[in-house]
Amino acid sequence: MTAVAPQTRRAEDAVAQLVADYEAFAANGAAGAPPWVQELRAGAIRQFAEAGFPSTKDEEWRFTSVEPITRTRFAVASATVSAAVRRAVEEVAIGESGERLVAVYVNGRFVSELSSLALPTGVTIGSLAAAAEGDVARQHLGRLADPSANPFTALNTAFVLDGAFVHVGRNVAVDRAIQLVFVSLAGSEPTVSHPRNLYLFDDGAQASIIEQFVGIGDGPYWTNAVTETVLGENAVVDAYRVQREHDNAFHTATSQSRQGRSSVYTSVTFAFGSRLTRYDLNATLDGEGAECTINGLSVLRDEQHVDFHTTLEHAKPHCPSWEVFNGVYDDRSRGVFSGRIIVRPGAQRTDSKQTNNNLLLSEDARADSQPQLEIYADDVKCTHGATLGPIDPKAMFYLRSRGLDEEAARNLLTFGFGAEILNSVSVEELRTQLDGIVHARLDESARKRSS
Amino acid sequence: MLEIKNLHASAEGTEILHGINLSVGKGEVHAIMGPNGSGKSTLAQVLAGHPGFEVTQGSVTYEGQDLLEMDPEERARAGLFMAFQYPVEIRGITNAYFLRSAVNAIRKTQGLPEYDPIDFLDVLAQKLRTIGWDDSLMSRAVNEGFSGGEKKRNEILQMAVLEPKLAVLDETDSGLDIDALKTVADAVNKLRGPERSMVVVTHYQRLLNYIVPDYVHVLADGRIVRSGGKELALELEDKGYDWLREPAVAR
């Protein structure tokens, strides 16, 4: 095999390299996994090899080129624990140590010594690799996230090794947030990790779950995560996801949830970091009367690019869903929002509302918004709306007429885009932490404008 | 308090106000009435400093200062307040937060300490008691999803909190049913006082049954064509605006 210089590396070469990496992985460190996991991987790598990386000619990838990823040779990351990792965990974890539930994953692997898990009865939080030895994980892993739907999901599945496993038993209400911290380490060469997460909430379970994605080091790395979430009947789950990778990182991820009857799922996603993020958030309302809220916020600068692709699938009748995605874009950053709502035949009385608001703080920033409605039932209510542009001069005048100067008015209006989403965070300490991040970002933008 | 002399203003190159003269004394309530398109709202917006209008001639003096030289926020800090005909929605920002930001912006320029969120809750509670309203609008995003009546109430609430010396109410009655109108007018009346002047812009005489003005002016085609006491409003109710228009054209 000839070495390929980075600038001429093509997508096919990247695929071939990853397949070769998989073969080495399958023959080597991955051999300890149960046979069913090995089969899952083998099927997924075949699907990835067939599909290859998406190009901007694919409708679902029109606005997002993955070329910066295919151009780079990423080695499979290994986990090491350092003082920097401990500091990173301390920075994002909330609550008193000793009382909190924090599980730490370094380059996708569970690290027990960094975790703080005094587990309540009926709750399991820890390593997927360990859980894969049991029946529960086997029943669910790979059942929701479809490798044929997304090559990055296929790749994650091919390299599935470890990640977060959470199981909350029937009628168990967890009284504090379950915090999962994913730390990626940038080494001397670019590395990739594939965290694979499985969250199971049995009938009547109630919990809040916080995923934090952080990076350490300056070099490029790539996090390729997949999360599958199952909500039983009447389960109530708030899921927060904070992506604050460092500026040289690539982040690709899929989340797929399925809800049972009368369950309530609230997902709130934040994107602040990475140079390139593609996040596919797919939620299936698969039981009558289930409720789903998916909100998201991107606050970007420089040349950051975040592509949120959401699919809300209404498979059963009488389900309401709400979706608000806001973006604030400075410099030459770019945001993409694609919101698909699918109403399956028979999913009558669906009531779905989608909103996407984009605020452009710079003339070079860009946002693309794509609502897609596919409705196969006749008694449904689906609305969608999008806004795009700089700060509204009418609102500026309104605030100035109340005594706020131009800068204060602009800052308030800008913060409002974030606050609309931050308001849906009901874990108070997390809300405070995120407020701080958004304020710091926007203050920085304001300083740039005034200098 | 407010002295408007020969005010001409245009929007996008078209002159709308053709020489307004108006003098408002301390504590006085003036009603500006007139048909659609007469320039009532333009006058209100020019006073508040809307950047979409250009003053081409004339002067406006407010408490001895050249109002037209002041930015909108400077006018607000000097005690001028306009209740918007179409209040603007501010996403993500709660009414309580917005009001505190506005009050603090004004206090800062007056050299007064800013309120923290807890202190401000007390201030707010006291204002709400004054006008007899509850705090149901406080935790909602500013004007977002508000009904027409709620939006107008919210404007008056801002006026109560900001304590202006001169309040310009731009068609605060439009779109209100009679109950909502009474609620809003009651609150406005509670905010009347010897230190507070008001300019009440309205299309309908109905509002003036509840907010009884000291003076009534009729605006037609960008000029004040008639001024009088509160009885002028009743006359307009009887006769409409047409009988006043003709002399304006003939002039």
Query: Has residue A303 been placed in a domain?
Result: yes
Mean of the pLDDT values across residues A352-358? 97
Spatial contact of A328 and A418, defined as CB atoms under 8 Å apart: yes
| Burial bucket for residue B170 (CB in 10 Å: 0-12, 13-18, 19+) | buried
User: What residue numbers bound the domain in which B110 lies?
Assistant: 2-250
**For residue B91, which residues of chain A lie inside 8 Å, CB to CB?**
357, 416-417, 419-420
Q: pLDDT tens, A133-167?
A: 999 999 999 999 999 999 999 999 999 999 999 99
To the nearest whole Å, the CA of A414 is away from the closest chain B CA by 9
Residues of B with CB under 8 A from a CB of A: 48-51, 71-73, 75-77, 81-82, 84, 87-93, 98, 101-103, 105-106, 109, 141, 158, 162
Does A7 reside within a domain?
A: no
Question: Average pLDDT of A98-107?
Answer: 94
Decide if A290 is inside a domain. yes
Q: pLDDT tens, position by position, for chain B (251 residues)?
A: 999 999 999 999 999 999 999 999 999 999 999 988 899 999 999 999 999 999 999 999 999 999 999 999 999 999 999 999 999 999 999 999 999 999 999 999 889 999 999 999 999 999 999 888 888 888 899 999 999 989 999 999 999 999 999 999 999 998 899 999 999 999 999 999 999 999 999 988 889 999 999 999 999 999 999 999 998 888 888 887 777 665 544 44
pLDDT band at A30 (very low <50, low <70, confident <90, very high): low
* Of A284, A295, A240, A282, the residue nearest A260 (C-alpha): A284
Q: Flag whether pLDDT at A1 surpasses 60.
A: no
First to last CA, chain A: 52
Radius of gyration of chain A from Cα atoms?
21
Q: Three-class SS of residue A160?
A: coil
B76–A416: do the CB atoms touch at under 8 Å?
Answer: no
Judged by CB atoms within 8 Å, which residues 391-430 of A form the interface with B? 392-395, 397-406, 408-409, 412-413, 415-423
Confidence band of A31 (pLDDT split at 50, 70, 90): low
Specify the DSSP class assigned to residue A112: G
Whether chain B has a CB inside 8 Å of the CB on A389: the answer is: no
Lowest mean pLDDT among A6-20, A260-274, B32-46: A6-20
Contact A433/A276 with Cβ under 8 angstroms?
Answer: no
Question: Which three-class secondary structure state does DSSP give residue A157?
Answer: helix
Confidence (pLDDT) at A8: 53
Domain count, chain B: 1
First-to-final CA distance of chain B: 29
Do A296 and A262 meet the contact criterion of CB atoms below 8 Å apart?
Answer: no
Does A69 reside within a domain?
no
Strands B54-62 and B65-66: antiparallel
- Pairing between β-strand A351-360 and β-strand A381-389 as defined by DSSP bridges: parallel
Flag the least confident range among A24-33, A35-44, B146-155.
A24-33
Q: A230 is written with which tokens?
A: 């199952």
Both tokens assigned to A451: 């200098």
Work out the number of other CB atoms within 10 angstroms of the CB of residue B111: 6
CA A289 to CA A259: how far, in whole Å?
Answer: 10
Q: How many residues make up chain A in this entry?
A: 451
Number of folded domains in chain A? 1
- In this structure, is residue A325 part of a structural domain? yes
The CATH number of residue B179's host domain is: 3.40.50.300
- Interface mutation vs chain B, best among A297, A353, A383, A402, most B CBs within 10 Å: A402
- Measure the CA dihedral A389/A395/A400/A401, to 10°: 160
Nearest CA in chain A to B71: A400
H or E, element range at B84: none
A59 within some domain: no
CA A425 to chain centre: 16
Mean per-residue pLDDT, A322-333: 97
Range of A319's domain?
A: 76-391
**What is the bridge-based pairing of β-strands B14-24 and A381-389?**
unpaired
How many angstroms separate the CA atoms of A354 and A323, rounded? 5
As a three-state string, the secondary structure of A332-389 is CCEEEEEEEEEECCCCCCCEEEEEEEEEECCCCCEEEEEEEEEECCCCCEEEEEEEEE
Q: Is the pLDDT of residue A330 over 60?
A: yes
pLDDT of B104 reads 94
